[in-house]
Every structure is written in structure tokens, then in C-alpha cells.
Amino acid sequence: MRQSKLFIKTVREDPKDEESLNAKLLIRAGYVYKVMAGVYAFLPLGLKVIKNIEDIIRKKMIAMGGNEVLLSALQNRSDWEVSGRWDSFDVLFKFASFYSKNDYVLGPTHEEEIVPIMRQQIASYRNLPAYFFQFQNKFRDEKRAKSGLLRGREFIMKDFYSFHASEKDLDSYYDSMKDAYSEIFNELGIGNTTYLTLASGGTFSKYSHEFQTLTPAGEDTIHICDSCKAAVNEEVFEDESLRQEFAKEGPVCPSCGKKDLRKEKAIEVGNIFKIKDKFSSPFGLKFKDENGEEHNVMMGCYGIGINRLLGAIVEVSHDDKGIIWPESVAPFKFHLIESRKGEGEKIYNSLVADGFKVLYDDRDIGLGEKFADADLVGIPWRLVVSARTEGKIEVKKRNEEKTELFNYENIRKF
């Protein structure tokens, strides 16, 4: 893509109404536009990163047997009354139609919708297990929305729901989802700083597992075991029954029992729960077993916050000049910069013909300004062509200082 056609301007100064580092950088580099506190629009570069993140997750969810759906954002009050969450879900956006006066919910999560759908689909053990997922805008009336993309009032979530005939089947599926999630965070380039963390189950279940990414911007505190890479959320020690079960003598590793844990700030990027029959029971989602006996369907649910991931990646991967994208999610692989108009044209066309994603800075501005923008925007490989490079291409990785000259043939192998 030609940068002259991107139309999005970068900004040198931090936006005044923004406290969080991830939002400051994403706004300055032209990835997002702040609509209001906790609500961001994705501009072309931002959308490319979002799609890359979603594609990595989608592939794994399909490999886990998931069928992709897209449920409605607008939901019924009556379904939220059946689940009992009309009054108890603390950040629920509720509103009444101006015309009909009917009450609605803007979905903060989708158990209240997927379970009635599955009631039409599941009748017998032969229909189980079943797996559905989606990428959807969720709405939550968060009291505090000051962490930029980490905590929004509208945000994209990947939510996945599994339906099982037995708790045993749910248990083994839940364990395989842990592995799938770890693989996802590795692929997203934050595997080193993301920990499988024992956490409370909230209103769903006794406990759950979170995937927590270490960052000072995080709102949670976790205790990490460096030998097994497992962690416990501090909230576990504060919950009396969980403390009795998992942490009687203070923080211990949930995996090996080691006591010497490291305390860190972190942000929850994913959360998996065994919700069992918490929803199937009130909604009457049942199946008949081999003997014709009826049972409640057992459920698991598995979330990942897409906006939050975007923000978390920026929090863990940046320097004082701007963002440093992991290659797997970067909007482009190469940022091609020319010093004089037209110098990069041939290389740009060749790279595009060879199937690479390239942002070509063909703008009529100084080289210094182009370099500053390249650092801010954070594309992994910077390629420079100028009279100085004498037919070769100067290559610099965003996260390294050194520059090297290469022929086009070498660059094709990157």
C-alpha cells in the first residue's frame, strides 16, 4: 500500500485526554481514533492488526472444532431474566426502545443468546459435543475506562462455547483449550510474558483460568512460579473458599506447590470457565442419553479480548520512539522508504508481485520525518532506497539498531 493513499496522519504529541500508553501510541501512529472514553474506532492500520490477531485465533478455534457464528449485539430483556443476570450483571448496558418502550440489553457476553439457540439444536447425546464461536462487539458499562484499549465500553471479544454430555468430556476439552490458548499467545508474540493463571470463577464457577500478560499497565496482580510458568491471581487468596483449597499457607504454585513466587502486575487477555449447567438449567437445555434419560447439557466458555490484546501487545512491545509489532500481527511486513520521489517504485512493485505486504512511503516529505513515522508505526522491517544505497537496499529491523545493505534477492528470503 502507498502511504500517500493511506490518508491517516501521524501525530508527534500525545493526545491530551488520554492517560494510557497503549492508546497514546495507537492514536499517534494512526491506528485508532478515540470516539469517547472507552470507545475506539479502528482506522485502516488498526483494522489490519485486528484482522491478523483474529485470523491467528480463528485458525486455532476451527482446529478445536469450533463453528463460527455471529450472534446479535441487541438482546432480549427476557433472556437476561431467565438467567437471573438482568439485575446482577454489574456492567450491563440496558435501555428502553423510545417507540415500543421494550427493554433491551447490548450484549456484554452471549450465554443468554447461544443457549436458547442450542435448545433448538440439541436433543440427544448424538448431538454432543458441539462447539460454537464468534468475534463480536461486546458492550460493558465499565465504571473506569482509563486504560485505553485494555478496558473499553465497546470492544471485540472472541467468545467460544462448548456443549458436552458429561463433566468428564467438558474437563478434557477444557484442558485442550488451555493448550490451544497457549499456542495462540505464542503465535501472537506475547508467549514469553503471558501466564496461565488460576483465578476465581466469578459468578460462573468456583475457579477459572486466566491468561495474564505481564505489564505495569495491568489491573491484576499475579504470583508466578518461574519453574513451571504457572501463576495464581491474587484474588484467589482473598476468596476464603479458594484460599482453603488452593493457598492455605499463602501463595503456592498451583502446578508444583513451590512457595517462592514472584509478584507482578498483569492484564487478563483471556479467560476460560467451566460453567457446567449454570445456563442450561434455567434455559432447559437438555439432552437424552442412550437410555432415554434426560440430563442438563454441560458447558464451557472461553473468551479472548481482541482490543485488549491489541493494547497489551503495544504495552509489552514498544520503545520511546513508538510501537514494535511482532511480525505475526504487524499491519505490513516491510516499510519501504525512498529518499527521492519514485526511487522505490520498482522494488515496491517487485515485493508486491512476490506476495509481500508492504507499506511504501512515497510521500513528498523529508527522510527524517519518514524515519520518525516508521519508528512510530512499528512495522518489523524498514527498507530504504536512496542514491547512497547504490542499487542495494538498506535494511533495519525495528527492534535493532544496525543497518545492512542487501540485494533484492536476499530480501525476498526474509
Residues binding ligand ATP (CB under 6 A): 109, 140, 142, 151-152, 155, 157, 268-271, 303-305, 307-308
Among ligand ATP, Mg ion, none, partner that 314 touches (CB below 5 to 8 angstroms by kind): none
Residue number with CB closer to Mg ion (190 or 395): 190
300 contact, one of Mg ion, ligand ATP, none, CB 5-8 Å limit per kind = none
- Shortest distance, CB of residue 16 to ligand ATP, whole angstroms? 22
Binding partner of 155, given Mg ion, ligand ATP, none, CB within 5-8 angstroms per partner class: ligand ATP
Residue closer to ligand ATP (CB basis): 34 or 392: 34
Place of cell 488520554: 18
List the one residue out of 103, 111, 63 whose CA is nearest residue 274.
111
Among the residue ranges 82-90, 263-271, 352-360, 404-412, the one whose residues contact Mg ion (CB under 5 A): 263-271
Nearer to ligand ATP, 106 or 304 (CB): 304
Binds 30, which of ligand ATP, Mg ion, none (CB < 5 to 8 A, cut-off by type)?
none
Nearer to ligand ATP, 131 or 348 (CB): 131
Q: Stretches 25-33, 172-180, 268-276, 278-286: which one binds Mg ion (CB under 5 A)?
A: 268-276
Nearer to Mg ion, 125 or 207 (CB): 207
Q: How far is the CB of 91 from Mg ion (least distance, A)?
A: 12
Min dist. Cβ of residue 208 to ligand ATP (A): 8
**Cα 406 from Cα 3, distance rounded (Å):** 23
Q: Identify which of residues 194 and 271 has a Cβ nearer to Mg ion in the complex.
A: 271
Of the pair 52, 271, the CB lying nearest Mg ion is at: 271
Least CB distance to ligand ATP at residue 268 (A):
5
Question: Binding partner of residue 140 among ligand ATP, Mg ion, none, CB under 5 to 8 Å per kind?
Answer: ligand ATP
Task: Choose the one of ligand ATP, Mg ion, none that binds residue 274, judging by a C-beta under 5 to 8 angstroms depending on kind.
Answer: none
CB-nearer residue toward ligand ATP: 57 or 393: 57
Residue 269 or 330 having the CB closest to ligand ATP: 269
Task: Choose which of 20, 136, 200, 271 interacts with Mg ion (CB under 5 A).
Answer: 271
Residue 134: beta bridge partners?
Answer: 159
Query: Residue 150: what residue type?
Result: L
Contact criterion met (CB below 8 Å) for 223 and 261: yes
Least gap, CB of 136 to ligand ATP (angstroms): 11
Alpha-carbon distance 352 to 64, whole Å? 33
CB of 140 to ligand ATP, least distance (A): 5
- Provide the minimum distance between the beta carbon of 308 and ligand ATP in the complex, in angstroms, as a whole number: 4
- Please state the closest distance from residue 112 (CB atom) to ligand ATP, in A: 13
SS (H, E, C) the chain: CEHHHCCCCCCCCCCCCCCCHHHHHHHHCCCEEEEECCEEEECHHHHHHHHHHHHHHHHHHHHCCCEECCCCCEEEHHHHHHHCHHHHCCCCEEEECCCCCCEEEECCCCHHHHHHHHHHHCCEHHHCCEEEEEEEEEECCCCCCCCHHHCCCEEEEEEEEEEECCHHHHHHHHHHHHHHHHHHHHHCCCHHHEEEEEEECCCCCCEEEEEEEECCCCCEEEEEECCCCEEEECHHHHCHHHHHHHCCCCCCCCCCCCCCCEEEEEEEEEEEEEEECCCHHHHCCEEECCCCCEEECEEEEEEEEHHHHHHHHHHHCEECCEECCCCCCCCCCEEEEECCCCCCHHHHHHHHHCCCCEEEECCCCCHHHHHHHHHHHCCCEEEEECHHHCCCEEEEECCCCCEEEECHHHHCCC
305 binds, among Mg ion, ligand ATP, none (CB under 5 to 8 A by kind): ligand ATP
d(CA 93, CA 111): 16
Closest to ligand ATP by CB, 189 or 344: 189
User: Which cell numbers in the block locate residue 19?
Assistant: 492517560
139 bridge partner residues: 154
197 binds Mg ion (CB under 5 A): no
**By CB under 5 A, which span of 238-246, 266-274, 281-289, 310-318 interacts with Mg ion?**
266-274
Q: Which residues bind Mg ion (CB under 5 A)?
A: 271
